[in-house]
């Protein structure tokens, strides 16, 4: 006779080991990409960095393209839409368009600033173009479409220029963060400091109020 229920029994060791190994492998993807770029990443390099047998990468993920897609989907590389909506997505979506726009960019800035490895990978992506880079690019394009639907709604449909403005702002945030890897002052602002980015957030909020009033 058993004394416990299925829900409170410990998970089988194999299941725990696989979850831990997958976590090691996914962490290694970003670290190898940031260190070696797209030209130096491969199953052997990731397995060595993670300290696992490369057979496990094929067993758990299927191969390098599938592994990179899994890494992109994991939220390690790019802040997903749920992260950008914040802890109360229904409340976010009920906000006026100007407030949604301003908060979206505040969360986007914070999300990328919290991912220094992502900035290194974006820098490598500028000079390297191959099949693996295209996988992450496709992930971001899908993210952009989803973000546009949630962010703009009917306002974006009625005013097509808003999509272009949003694109310029997203690109501008990425550019300034890439520059902040090497330089401190850009246009008189300290782009390595919280204060500098708070100024840029305030500017984005003012722009949102002007666009949607």
Same domain membership, residue 149 and residue 109: yes
> Could you say which of 30, 47, 73 is where a domain stops?
73
Question: Are 145 and 101 found together in one domain?
Answer: yes
Structure tokens that stand for 62 in this block: 């299927």
3-state secondary structure 122-183: HHHHHHCCCHHHHHHHHHHHHHHHHHHHHHCCHHHHHCCHHHHHHHHHHHHHHHHHHHHCCC
Q: Are residues 23 and 108 in the same domain?
A: no
- Can you read off the two tokens belonging to residue 194? 């919280």
Tokens of 84: 């950008």
Domain match, 200 and 104 both: yes
Give the sign of the dihedral formed by CA 36, CA 145, CA 152, CA 158: positive
How confident is the model at residue 15, as a pLDDT? 55
169 and 208 belong to one structural domain: yes
Which pLDDT score is estimated for 57?
Answer: 95
Co-location of 97 and 197 in the same domain: yes
Does any domain span residue 122?
A: yes
State the pTM of this model. 0.81
Tell me which residue range forms the domain holding 107.
81-212
Q: What is the pLDDT along the chain (213 residues), one digit of tens a residue?
A: 444 444 454 444 555 688 899 999 999 998 998 888 888 889 999 999 999 999 999 999 999 999 998 998 888 888 888 888 888 888 988 888 899 899 999 999 999 999 998 898 888 888 877 788 888 888 888 888 888 777 766 777 788 888 888 889 999 999 999 999 999 999 999 999 999 999 999 999 999 999 887
59 and 98 fall within a common domain: no
């Amino acid at each position: 006779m058993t004394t416990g229920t299925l829900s409170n029994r410990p998970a089988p060791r194999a299941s725990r080991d696989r979850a831990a190994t997958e976590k090691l492998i996914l962490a290694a993807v970003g670290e190898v990409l940031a260190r070696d770029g797209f030209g130096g990443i491969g199953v052997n390099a990731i397995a060595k960095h993670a300290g696992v047998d490369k057979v496990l990468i094929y067993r758990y993920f299927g191969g390098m393209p599938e592994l990179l897609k899994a890494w992109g989907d994991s939220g390690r590389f790019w802040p997903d839409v749920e992260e950008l909506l914040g802890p109360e997505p229904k409340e976010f979506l009920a906000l006026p368009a100007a407030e949604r726009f301003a908060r979206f960019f505040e969360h986007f800035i914070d999300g990328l600033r919290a991912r220094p490895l992502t900035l290194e990978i974006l820098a490598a992506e500028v000079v390297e173009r191959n099949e693996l880079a295209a996988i992450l690019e496709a992930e971001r394009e899908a993210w952009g479409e989803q973000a546009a639907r949630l962010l703009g709604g009917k306002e974006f449909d009625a005013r097509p220029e808003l999509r272009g403005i949003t694109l310029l702002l997203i690109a501008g945030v990425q550019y300034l963060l890439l520059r902040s890897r090497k330089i401190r002052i850009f246009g008189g602002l300290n782009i390595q400091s919280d204060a500098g980015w708070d100024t840029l957030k305030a500017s984005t909020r003012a722009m949102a109020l002007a666009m949607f009033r």
